[in-house]
């Protein structure tokens, strides 16, 4: 079934051409009352190609650890602006994630902004995009932009407590750099209250806690 599904998704356009030819053949040789079936299949295949693309297969590649395979599928999307809105936002977020993996922060930033400008269908997606933008801005040294994007991420909402704690920790770090210790403590307490479970985030909170204990007031 998976093999058939991959074949169907990867060869939608050639199959659409084949179904179109079959429809005309049936129409001229048999009857147009039967020809509508391959014509309908043609329409469905073409709509699927432009509105969905190969995105339904990508999750399986990611779960199996085949990142290169997922990237190849993403590169098959030639007209991302035609993708159905929820699919389009996932497309840009995935491209941004892959760019971040290779430390191509500029490209990741471009992809995230494209996703946001095209409209995110879900607040969690919007929050995640702003969180990534904030992290990228912070890494690039643009503290002001990082702060604004992180605030937007929290306002939009994040998909889990680990992401929320990450946003608060980064806001805390920015406030400490500005020597705004009061706001820094506020954000740090909010990060702790998230009760994150991700090991990396938990360790960051522990390390930050040692520093926060030395701040007066």
pLDDT tens digits in sequence order for the chain, 217 residues long: 477 888 888 889 999 999 999 999 999 988 888 889 999 999 999 999 999 988 888 878 887 888 888 888 888 888 888 888 888 888 888 888 888 888 888 899 989 888 888 776 666 678 889 999 999 999 888 999 999 999 999 998 888 899 999 999 999 999 999 888 899 999 999 999 999 899 999 999 998 888 887 776 5
Q: Would you say residue 35 lies in a domain?
A: yes
Q: Would you say residue 11 lies in a domain?
A: yes
The confidence score (pLDDT) of residue 8 equals 85
The confidence score (pLDDT) of residue 170 equals 94
Tell me which H or E stretch contains 100.
helix 85-101
The confidence score (pLDDT) of residue 216 equals 67
Q: Would you say residue 28 lies in a domain?
A: yes
Q: Residue 74 in contact with residue 80, Cβ under 8 Å?
A: no
Tokens of 51: 């509105």
Measured CA to CA, the distance from residue 155 to residue 13 in angstroms comes to 42
User: What's the CA angle centered on 137, arms 133 and 62, to 5 degrees?
Assistant: 45
The confidence score (pLDDT) of residue 122 equals 66
Q: Which domain holds residue 22?
A: 1-51
Tokens of 47: 């709509």
Count of beta carbons in the 10 Å neighbourhood of residue 87: 17
The confidence score (pLDDT) of residue 63 equals 78
The confidence score (pLDDT) of residue 70 equals 86
Q: Would you say residue 16 lies in a domain?
A: yes
* Termini Cα distance of the chain: 63
Q: Would you say residue 13 lies in a domain?
A: yes
The confidence score (pLDDT) of residue 73 equals 86
Instruction: List the one residue out of 75, 23, 82 whose CA is nearest residue 49.
Output: 82
Q: Would you say residue 37 lies in a domain?
A: yes
Q: Residue 174 in contact with residue 142, Cβ under 8 Å?
A: no
Helix (H, G, I), strand (E, B) or coil at 121: coil
Q: Would you say residue 25 lies in a domain?
A: yes
Q: Would you say residue 102 lies in a domain?
A: no
Q: Residue 153 in contact with residue 128, Cβ under 8 Å?
A: yes
- Please state the domain count of the chain: 1
Say if pTM beats, i.e. exceeds, 0.85.
no
The confidence score (pLDDT) of residue 1 equals 46
Measured CA to CA, the distance from residue 186 to residue 134 in angstroms comes to 19
Contacts of 26 (CB under 8 A, 6+ apart): 32, 34, 35, 38
Measured CA to CA, the distance from residue 217 to residue 213 in angstroms comes to 10
Helix (H, G, I), strand (E, B) or coil at 102: coil
The confidence score (pLDDT) of residue 46 equals 93
């Amino acid at each position: 079934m998976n093999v058939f599904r991959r074949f169907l998704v990867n060869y939608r356009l050639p199959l659409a051409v084949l179904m179109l030819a079959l429809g005309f053949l049936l129409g001229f040789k048999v009857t147009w009352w039967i020809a509508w079936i391959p014509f309908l299949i043609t329409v469905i295949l073409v709509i699927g190609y432009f509105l969905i693309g190969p995105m339904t297969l990508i999750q399986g590649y990611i779960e199996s650890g085949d990142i290169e395979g997922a990237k190849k599928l993403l590169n098959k999307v030639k007209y991302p602006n035609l993708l159905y809105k929820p699919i389009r936002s996932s497309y840009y977020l995935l491209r941004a994630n892959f760019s971040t993996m290779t430390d191509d922060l500029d490209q990741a930033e471009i992809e995230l902004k494209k996703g946001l400008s095209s409209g995110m269908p879900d607040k969690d997606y919007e929050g995640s995009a702003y969180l990534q933008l904030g992290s990228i801005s912070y890494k690039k040294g643009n503290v002001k932009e990082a702060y604004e994007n992180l605030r937007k991420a929290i306002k939009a909402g994040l998909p889990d407590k680990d992401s929320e704690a990450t946003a608060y920790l980064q806001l805390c770090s920015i406030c400490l750099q500005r020597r705004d210790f009061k706001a820094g403590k506020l954000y740090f307490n909010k990060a702790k209250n998230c009760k994150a479970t991700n090991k990396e985030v938990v360790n960051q909170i522990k390390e930050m806690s040692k520093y926060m204990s030395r701040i007066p007031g």
